[in-house]
Amino acid sequence: MFPYPSGKIHMGHVRNYTLGDVVARYKRARGHSVMHPMGWDAFGLPAENAARERGVHPAKWTYENIANMRAELQRMGLSLEWEREFATCQPEYYRHQQKLFLDFLKAGLVERKESWVNWDPVDGTVLANEQVIDGKGWRSGAPVEKKQLSQWFLSITKYAPQLLDALDTLDRWPERVRLMQANWIGRSEGARLTFRLTGGGDGGLDVYTTRPDTLFGMSFLAIAPEHPLAGAVAARDPKAAAFIADCKSRGTSEATIETGEKLGYDTGLRVSHPFIEGASYPVWIANFVLMEYGTGAIFGCPGHDQRDMDFARKYGLNVTPVVLPPGADPATFTLGDDAYVGPGTIFNSGFLNSLDVDAAKRAAIQRLEEQGVGKGVTNWRLRDWGVSRQRYWGCPIPVIHCASCGVVPVPDDQLPVRLPDDVTFDKPGNPLDHHPTWKHVPCPRCGQAATRETDTFDTFVDSSWYFARYCSPTADVPLVKEAVDHWMPVDQYIGGIEHAILHLLYSRFFTRAMKDTGHIAVEEPFAGLFTQGMVNHESYRGADGRWLYPEEIEKRSDGTAVHRETNEPVTVGRVEAMSKSKRNTIDPGAIIARFGADTARWFILSDNPPDRDMEWTESGVAGAYRFTQRIFRLAEALDTVPQEAKPAAFGTAGRALRRATHRCIAAVTEALESFAFNVAVARLYELANAITEAERAAPEPGLVWARREAVEMMARLAAPMMPHLAEDVYARLGAGDGTLAAELPWPEAEPDLLAAESVTIAVQVMGKLRGTVEVPPDAAADLVLAAAEAEPNVAKALEGKRIVKRVHVPNRIVNFVIAG
C-alpha cells in the first residue's frame, strides 16, 4: 500500500516495503516480470492542519515531505520502479479520477442525497465516524452535531451481493480479513412489512424484521428520532420535538448508548396488526432505533429481543412470549427481564402455532405476501459511501450547481477541475468556499451564472484505484485496458490490518465500478493479500513521570534502566505501538545511518513471523548487525586461500558442507514461498554455522571450492533480504564477472545433495523415546527394526516384555508396542 507523505518514514513503512521488496526480488530471480511501483497518497487533512498551524501551503508541505520520504525509501535499497511514481494530489492524476467519477455518475453509480452526518460546528466540516471521539470532534473538541446535508454518495450497496460472494474467490487473502468484510457487508434475511396507522392516519409505517415469526408477540412500534413521521409529530407536539432534539444532542457514541439506556416518547399514534383483527399498538419514538438501518422503524417484540424487553419494562408495555423453549410448559412459561432468543416452538400465535422458528418465519412471510402488506427481503448492513468532504486539500468533485439546470457535470474537455493555489486558512471551514472567484463559473449547459461544487473527495477515493493507474501512469486516459489486463490483479498486496475493511472494500467496489463503466476487464483488484503486524517498542518513564526516548536511557544487565545523563532510575513500561506521545519511536533514518539498510531489513525480517506484531529491540538490531559482519568475514576469509577447481570427489568435510549448502537452498526457497522470512533467516544462520565449521576442519581437496560455493549461495539466498551486502560478497568472490547477484536466476538445489548419507531413526517403546539408531537412507524395515531392538537402552526397556506391534515409518521412527 502506498504511503501517506507525513514527513518521515516510520518503522511500519520499513516493515511493509521490506516485505514487498523481498517478494519482488525473489520473484524476479524466479524469472517473473515484476512491477514494483511506489506512489503517494498525497491528499488529506494533515497538510491542511500544517497550513493552519504553520502557515505553509499544503502543496509545498506535501511535496517537501514526498521528496524527503522518497530519499529515505531509496536509502533502504528497495528495488522500486520509480518511473511509475505519481502523487494523488497532482492534477495529472486527479483529472482521471474526476473522469471516472463522471462515468460512474452517467452509469447510475453515484447519487446525491440528503443524509445524517457528524457535523463539527467549530471546524465547519463533516467528520467521519472515526474522527468523532466520545461525541466530540477530534480536532476542535466541540460536541458533534447530527446534521442533514446533501452529499455525494457512491453506490457501493448496489455491489453488496457481489462483494460478499466474491470473498470466497479470494483464497490468497487472510481468512480474518474476509470475515471482517463479510460482517461489515452484513447480509441478513427477513421481511419488510407495512403497519397501517389507525384512526384516519394516512398510509402506513414500513418495518424491517428478521423475526417475522414473532409478530404475534408485538407490543409496540418504534421509530427513529430522525424518521419523517417523528418529524411530523414534532411539528404539532412540542414535547416530541424536545425529545427528538435531546436524542440528537446525545450523538451516536455517547455514554447513553454504551450503557444501553433506552429512551422513548409515546406519540399517541397507533397501528393495527397485519394478522390480529382489531388489535392496535402504540407508536413510540425511541433512541435505540437507527434511521440508517432497515427502514428506521421496528416492531417491538419484548419477549424475544433484549432491547425491546428493556424498553417494554421501562415503559410498562406488554410482554407476550410466543416462542416456547424446548421442554418448557406453555401453561407456566413466563419471562422475567431476559428475552428468550433461542430456538423453540411457536405458541400464542394463531396460524403459526406449533411451527418451529424457521418454519414460522417462512409461513409468516408467505401470509404477508398473500395479504399484500409485506414480503421477504434481504437486508444489508453496508451503507452507501459518502465521499463529500468540506475540505480544501482533496480532489475537487467535478460538478456545477446551476439554479435552472440543477447539477451539471463538468464537461470532459474542461477537466481537470484544478484546485486553486491562492487560498487562505485564516477562517474555519472550507477555503474553497471562501475563495473570491474560483467557485463562480457559467453553467456549461445554459451559460448562466452558476457555482462549482466546493466539496472535495474523501481521500479513500484517491487510493481506490491508484494500483490500476500504475499500469499506465502517464496515459491521457484514466486506464489503458490492455496494460491493466496485462498486470492486474495485483499478485501480492501488502499492508496493515487496519485497512481490512475501508480501503480494501472501497478498492474492490471501485474496481467493479471501473469494469462496469468499460475502463478495465478485471473485477477484483488484489489476488493475494498479506497483512503485516505492527512494530512495537518498550516505553520508558523518568522519575518525574515524563516519557523518555529510547536514546535517553541506558539498559542495565539486570533489565532495569537509568537515565543516560542524570543516572536516575527509569521505569520500563509496556511494549506497545510506536507513538510520538509515548516517545517510544525509533527513526529508521538513524538506524540506517548507523547500521546500514541491510541490518534494518534483516532484523525486521528475522524477529518473528511477519503477520504478527514485532518488538523492535536494540539488542536484536545489534545481533542483526553482527551477522552482516560475520557474512562479510566468511567471504573475506576466502581472499587469502588459493582458488580450487571443482574436484571429482569431496572429502568428509566438503561433502557435509555441500549438503548443508544445498539443503539451505531448498529450505530458504520454501520459506520465502510461504512468507516465513524468519525461518529463511534461521536457515541462513545455520549455513553460516556450517561454513564456520568447514573453516575449522582439517584441509582436504575440494574443501575450499565447497566453501566458495557455500558463501556464494549464502549471498544469493540472502540477496532479497540484504541486497547491498549480497552484491558486495558476490563481487568479492569474483564469480559473476561484473554481473549482479540480483540479475542471476534463483539457485536450484542439487537433488543428490539433499539426501542424507545416513539417517537417525528415533526408537520409541510405547510412544516414549528410548534411543536412536543410525541407518542408511531408505533402509529395509527388517534391518531397521533389528537395529532398533538391539539398541542397548531400547533392549532394556523391552526386556521381559512381549512385542505386540512394530511400527516403522521409513527414515523417521520406530515404535514398539509391548504387552505384559
Partner RNA sequence: GCCCGCCUGGCGGAAUGGUAGACGCAGCGGACUUAAAAUCCGCAGCCGGUAACGGCGUGGGGGUUCAAGUCCCCCGGUGGGCACCA
Q: What residues between 754 and 793 interact with RNA by CB under 7 A? A: 760, 762, 764, 766-770, 772, 793
Residue with smaller CB distance to RNA, 520 or 718: 718
Among 34, 276, 328, 682, binds RNA (CB under 7 A): 682
Q: Which stretch binds RNA (CB under 7 A): 31-39, 77-85, 342-350, 620-628?
A: 620-628
Residue with smaller CB distance to RNA, 117 or 484: 117
Backbone φ, ψ for residue 743 (5° rounding): -90, -10
Residue with smaller CB distance to RNA, 17 or 816: 816
Q: Which stretch binds RNA (CB under 7 A): 102-110, 132-140, 480-488, 803-811?
A: 803-811
User: Interface residues for RNA in 278-297 (CB under 7 A)?
Assistant: 287-294, 296
Cβ atoms of 456 and 416 within 8 Å: the answer is: no
User: Interface residues for RNA in 353-412 (CB under 7 A)?
Assistant: 379, 381
CB of 157 to RNA, least distance (A): 12
All three cell numbers of 622: 545489534
Q: Is 612 in the site for RNA (CB under 7 A)?
A: yes
Among 190, 550, 596, 702, binds RNA (CB under 7 A): 190
Among 115, 209, 472, 511, binds RNA (CB under 7 A): 209
- Separation CA 401–CA 408 (nearest Å): 6
- Helices 677-696 and 652-673 meet at what angle, rounded to 10? 170
CB of 260 to RNA, least distance (A): 4
Residue with smaller CB distance to RNA, 290 or 562: 290
CA-CA-CA-CA dihedral for 780, 782, 788, 791, to nearest 10: -110
β-strand 136-137 against 132-133: which pairing, if any? antiparallel
Residue written as cell 396507522?
197
Q: Is 351 in the site for RNA (CB under 7 A)?
A: no
Among 82, 351, 549, 685, binds RNA (CB under 7 A): 685
Q: Is 606 in the site for RNA (CB under 7 A)?
A: yes
CA distances from 522 to 482, 483, 484, 691, 765 (A): 11, 11, 8, 49, 59
Residue with smaller CB distance to RNA, 113 or 486: 113
Cβ atoms of 300 and 311 within 8 Å: the answer is: yes
Residue with smaller CB distance to RNA, 379 or 390: 379
Number of residues that bind RNA (CB under 7 A): 84
CB of 271 to RNA, least distance (A): 16
Among 693, 748, 757, 778, binds RNA (CB under 7 A): 693
User: Interface residues for RNA in 166-185 (CB under 7 A)?
Assistant: 175-176, 179-180, 183-184
Residue written as cell 573475506?
636
- Separation CA 464–CA 88 (nearest Å): 11
Sequence-distant (≥ 6) Cβ neighbours of residue 558 within 8 angstroms? none
Binding mask 526-565 for RNA (x = CB under 7 A): -------------------------------x--------
20: left (phi over 0), alpha (psi -120 to 50) or beta: alpha
Among 91, 428, 528, 620, binds RNA (CB under 7 A): 620
- Separation CA 472–CA 481 (nearest Å): 9
Backbone φ, ψ for residue 598 (5° rounding): -60, -40
Q: Which stretch binds RNA (CB under 7 A): 83-91, 402-410, 734-742, 802-810?
A: 802-810
Residue with smaller CB distance to RNA, 151 or 531: 531
Residue written as cell 418454519?
359
Query: In degrees, to the nearest 5, what angle opens at C-alpha 263 toward C-alphas 260 and 266?
Result: 150
Cis (ω within 30 of 0) for the bond into 343?
no
Q: Is 186 in the site for RNA (CB under 7 A)?
A: yes
Q: Is 608 in the site for RNA (CB under 7 A)?
A: yes
CA distances from 109 to 97, 379, 380, 398 (A): 14, 19, 17, 15
Residue with smaller CB distance to RNA, 491 or 615: 615
User: Interface residues for RNA in 28-67 (CB under 7 A)?
Assistant: none
Among 236, 696, 698, 802, binds RNA (CB under 7 A): 696
Element (H, E) at 286: strand 280-286
Residue with smaller CB distance to RNA, 560 or 689: 689
